[in-house]
Structure 1
Amino acid sequence: MASSEKTEIEEIALNTEPQPQTRDFEELKVLSNPPQASIGLGKIDDIIIDTVNAETEYTPEQFRKLRWKIDLWLLPLMWVCFGTQQADKTSVSVQAVFGIRTDTHLVGQQFPWLTTIFYISYLVAEGPANFLMQRVNVGKFLAANMFVWGIIVLCIAFAQNFAGLMVLRALQGVCECTISPTFLLLTGLWYTSREHTMRSIIWGTANAGMQVIASLISYSIGFQAQKHPGGLPPWRGISIFLGCLTLTSSVLVFFILGTPREVRWLSEDEKRMAIARVVANQTGSDRQKRDHWKWSQALTAFKDPQTYFFFFVVIANSLPNGGITTFGNLVYVSFGFTSLETLTEGTVPQQAVSVLWFLLVGYTTLKKPNLRFFFMMVSLLPAFAGMIALALLPNGKSLLWTKWGLYLMTVTGNLPGLLIWTILPSNVAGRTKKSVTATVLFIAYCTGNAIGAQLFQAKDAPRYLPGLTACGVLFGVEFVLMATWRGYYMWQNKRRATKIAELGLTVEEAQRQGRVNAESDMTDLENIFFKYSF
């Protein structure tokens, strides 16, 4: 390490260490003292200093060229994989209008239990999966899970009864719980905080985009089945198609996806440059593998109000999502559409609007930061109005297209689900703390979806008024919680700015200290120089 570098860091440390901490900031340590580094004594690992310094060694043009290469390698495959996962997960909704309930002799509430059991197993497996993900190669781990769940989706095509479907859906949930945390981790490690929303939205639009593709293919399968009634039932054909797509994607994941440190398609200098791009995030880079579990960070996660905002907001968001994804096509049937029309008149237009709205929001937030909460809250308003209006309208085919329009309005309510996730890589620092917070987030996601599938009861068919009303109310609750969460971030940033001003540090000194703290694996709650984005 150069002596000038040591002097600068020691000087910052000396400027900050003597300052007394107020009671309000007992948990917001000014300096990091992790086991592997002591800033006060100047014993900082050379890799940390090299990582922080590397940010200034490359030109903006070099960073732009590298970002383009990263986008080309990662985003198309992430789009296909995330969309395939969504299609696999929600396939029972499409299969419901193509005979799965009749052919497997489902009665009463057995059909929604196929969604509930998926999310229960997802919930149980989430903690162990995040624990393992910190210790193994991320890309290979995801590829193995995708390969197994691809086989499971293929097996669903041969299920004969409720028991068989329940076992397969439970196993599917265990494997699929890995993809969303993996993609959030990769987004945080490859992209800057300002890029998180747009890049997450790009692969997140696969939820809707792949649904359009899968719906059109399902339509073709169903159409052919109607022409040849003695052949393979369409719902079984849908599972065979999705299973083969998942298996193919898993092979590509094995060779392409991973953290900057793991991939083979970057040179050593490009890997260093890729890591240098994200140092300013102050959430920790992938320069050093942090494979040991820190119980102190796990405890910090549960002291952080952020964790509880994640939990309760995701619960409120996932409850209506669980009901809509399971019963969405059956709601269209209740309007008066046929099985095939639910795809061409319902699912395809709805998902197309969803993709356009996602991309518009992603582009806007890329150009103007700190608008995520604004767009999430705005997106909930038409969803709330549409759901409440649907519940109040009388039954009858004369209002078919009115109901179609109101239900189309609710598609904007899909946006907050993804944008909430993007807050994790932007605002949570510390490798173990990220794993714990991600686990809490996805436990909430599973709990909400599992319960949400039960909001729509068989006895309420065909209109499902209680379920639609509950979804509308939950959109309103979510709006209030998000407004409170945004206010908390603004308050924290103001407190920290005041404290930093009291320390007498320049902007450059504060930023450098924040980067060093983050590279030392300090959490956002402890690193007073960290600034929350919203």
Structure 2
Amino acid sequence: MSSVTSSALKPEDEAKGEAAFSTDVVVALDDIPESEREVVLDTVEAYSQYTPAEYKKLLRKVDWVLLPLMWILYGTQQADKTSTSTQATFGLRTDTHLVGQQFSWLSTAFYLSYLVSEFPGNYVMQRVNIGTTLACVMFVWGVIVLCIAFAKNFTDLIILRVLQGAAECTISPAFLIITGAWYTTKEHTLRAIIWGTANAGFGIITSFANYGIGSHAQAHPGGLAPWKGISFFLGSLTIFLSFFAFFFLGTPREVRWLSKDEKRMAAARVVSNQTGSDRQKRGEWKWDQFWMTWRDPQTYFFFFVTLVNSLPNGGTTSFGNLVYVSFGFTSLETLSKGTVPQNIVSVAWFLLVGYITFKRKNLRFAFMMISVVPAFIGMLAMGLLPAGTHYRWIKWGMFLMTVTGNLPGLLIWTFLPSNVAGRTKKSVTATVLFVAYCAGNAIGAQIFQAKDAPRYTPALITCAAMYGLEFVLMGSWRAYYAYKNAQRRRAIAAKNLTQQEIDQAGRLNAEADMTDFENEFFLYDI
């Protein structure tokens, strides 16, 4: 990317839409067409034109519209994705004649399809409206989930799960883009955690609904199979919610419920992130940013840390209820005594960490590393404890401890809107991240072998080992960010600029779609 040498915009030059600088500061403005340059400069200038009260009012409006909707949509997606785990305890495997590793392949196929569809999905989202894209794919996967109720055998199920994986691949990257477009870096963790708690929080709601479906089926034998009722319930709910996604979801530039001035204010509010606002549609694909992504070490940290984190997740989301059955619980007890308590603890831990990281900066890695310690201990203990129902509640407690290990997966994702700049680079990095997520989950489902049922001892020990490796990798990633920040602070100090000049130059670079790798004023959040 070419650039101009600049220092800080003078008021008279801002009015002209031109930069006049006196010191050696790289600001990427000359690559931008004149018509777009005016918007870039206006966005940066707008940052100081609104009062804190106006920003607070806008933030309150955004929170009330977006967060409840994102929570419900994300929770529904998680329930749809993992529904086969609950359905397995209510007759899915028997009625569809699954044998051996066929049940494991239902999860693996989902994530392999998710993986293959990730790059096309992210490419489409960069080119078109995010809210419309999500609404369409939600409607499609809702129909697919509903159709699972009509599956007769493994072939029917595997085809539907492949189609479901392809449809669901866009929602997590889209939510990260939306979080980055609406919120400041300080707010990223708490807001992502709020909609991320839907994995567990909405799981509580669906667990009670599934419990009711299962209880009704047991009281009326010969009626609709409970696993089919679960598909009807979740599929219909997803189709219904897709219409809300169409009318309310999107970036500030896309939504219908903000005025023109509010959209300008929303872009100005996040300009301090130095990762670029969404005020202008950047649908063009920049090959220089594509290749730059592969030269950036953080890309590989995203990949390997996510991969290792997802391996235990892939197994426990598919086999968690079956592990509870191995403790001696009934199908209904896996929900009331297993899934619901786990989800309550998960929500509480997520919200506690979200609140603390909102109040104090640079604690994400600390909590990520703390969270995997109980998960490591709990998973290892479950694998090593001998069989027998007299160990049921000890194993129950150990499995409950592992829920803290779910937190790092979401916090890893929050580094995407906080620490990756450049629209194409962000899309490629998101693809890398979710390819690793899919690969880890696909492999994780295969770690649980049918021959090891019901205890799955080798799988549990493998999951514990992954938590230990994850701890080491996260420490290395944090050290890399700290090294780069120290390096850039020294370079910035050598330029003898004021803080206002530093901030102004960094924001201009970001609005000009310069990447974090290029922007010498960008500091990584840790």
Q: Same fold (TM over 0.5)?
A: yes
Q: Distance in 1 between matches of 2:377 and 2:16?
A: 60
Offset of 1:90 from its aligned partner? 0.3
Q: Are 1:32 and 2:11 an aligned pair?
A: no
Offset of 1:215 from its aligned partner? 0.8
Q: Distance in 2 between matches of 1:288 and 1:8?
A: 16
Q: Distance in 2 between matches of 1:216 and 1:5?
A: 58
Deviations 1:474-502 (A, max 9, x none): 00000000000001111101100100111
Matches within 5 A, 1:55-94: 55-94=47-86
In structure 2, what is the equivalent of residue 25 of structure 1?
none
Q: Are 1:455 and 2:447 an aligned pair?
A: yes
In structure 2, what is the equivalent of residue 115 of structure 1?
107
Q: Are 1:479 and 2:488 an aligned pair?
A: no
Offset of 1:463 from its aligned partner? 0.6
Q: Distance in 2 between matches of 1:247 and 1:437?
A: 30
Q: Distance in 2 between matches of 1:490 and 1:161?
A: 53
Q: Are 1:205 and 2:197 an aligned pair?
A: yes
Deviations 1:17-47 (A, max 9, x none): 5xxxxxxxxxxxx332562169xxxx98111
Q: Secondary structure at the match of 2:216?
A: helix
1:103 to 84, 88, 95: 95
Contact 2:75 2:203 in 1 (8 A): yes
Q: Are 1:506 and 2:498 an aligned pair?
A: yes
In structure 1, what is the equivalent of residue 6 of structure 2?
none
Q: Distance in 1 between matches of 2:511 and 2:81?
A: 37
Contact 1:16 1:31 in 2 (8 A): no
Q: Secondary structure at the match of 1:370?
A: coil
Q: Distance in 2 between matches of 1:416 and 1:403?
A: 23
Q: Distance in 2 between matches of 1:198 and 1:2?
A: 36
Offset of 1:288 from its aligned partner? 0.7
Gap change, CA 1:6 and 1:88, over 3 Å in 2: same
In structure 2, what is the equivalent of residue 355 of structure 1?
347
Q: Distance in 2 between matches of 1:10 and 1:293?
A: 26
Q: Distance in 2 between matches of 1:34 and 1:310?
A: 31
Matches within 5 A, 1:491-502: 491-502=483-494
Q: Distance in 1 between matches of 2:325 and 2:170?
A: 33
Which letter maps to 1:447?
A
In structure 1, what is the equivalent of residue 14 of structure 2?
5
Q: Secondary structure at the match of 2:139?
A: helix
Q: Distance in 2 between matches of 1:363 and 1:90?
A: 28
Q: Are 1:520 and 2:516 an aligned pair?
A: no
2:274 to 276, 282, 292: 282
In structure 1, what is the equivalent of residue 265 of structure 2?
273
Offset of 1:3 from its aligned partner? 2.3
Contact 1:37 1:45 in 2 (8 A): yes
Contact 1:37 1:520 in 2 (8 A): no
In structure 2, what is the equivalent of residue 229 of structure 1?
221
Q: Distance in 1 between matches of 2:154 and 2:371?
A: 37
Deviations 1:104-154 (A, max 9, x none): 000000001000000000000000010010111110010000000000000
Q: Are 1:16 and 2:18 an aligned pair?
A: no
Deviations 1:509-533 (A, max 9, x none): 0110000000000000000001100
In structure 1, what is the equivalent of residue 185 of structure 2?
193
In structure 2, what is the equivalent of residue 21 of structure 1?
none
Deviations 1:376-410 (A, max 9, x none): 00000000000111111110011111110011000
Contact 1:380 1:476 in 2 (8 A): yes
Contact 1:120 1:450 in 2 (8 A): yes
The count of aligned residue pairs is: 517
In structure 2, what is the equivalent of residue 423 of structure 1?
415
Offset of 1:5 from its aligned partner? 2.7
Q: Distance in 2 between matches of 1:425 and 1:461?
A: 41
Deviations 1:68-109 (A, max 9, x none): 000011000100000000000000000010000000000000
Which letter maps to 1:355?
V
Offset of 1:369 from its aligned partner? 1.2
Q: Distance in 2 between matches of 1:326 and 1:497?
A: 46
Normalising by structure 2, report the TM-score.
0.97
Offset of 1:281 from its aligned partner? 0.2
Q: Distance in 2 between matches of 1:359 and 1:325?
A: 21
Offset of 1:504 from its aligned partner? 1.5
Q: Distance in 1 between matches of 2:54 and 2:329?
A: 54
Offset of 1:462 from its aligned partner? 0.8
In structure 1, what is the equivalent of residue 301 of structure 2?
309
1:166 to 142, 158, 178: 158
User: Which sections of structure 2, spanning at least 5 residues, go unmatched?
Assistant: 1-9
1:182 to 174, 188, 209: 174
In structure 2, what is the equivalent of residue 24 of structure 1?
none
Contact 1:379 1:415 in 2 (8 A): yes
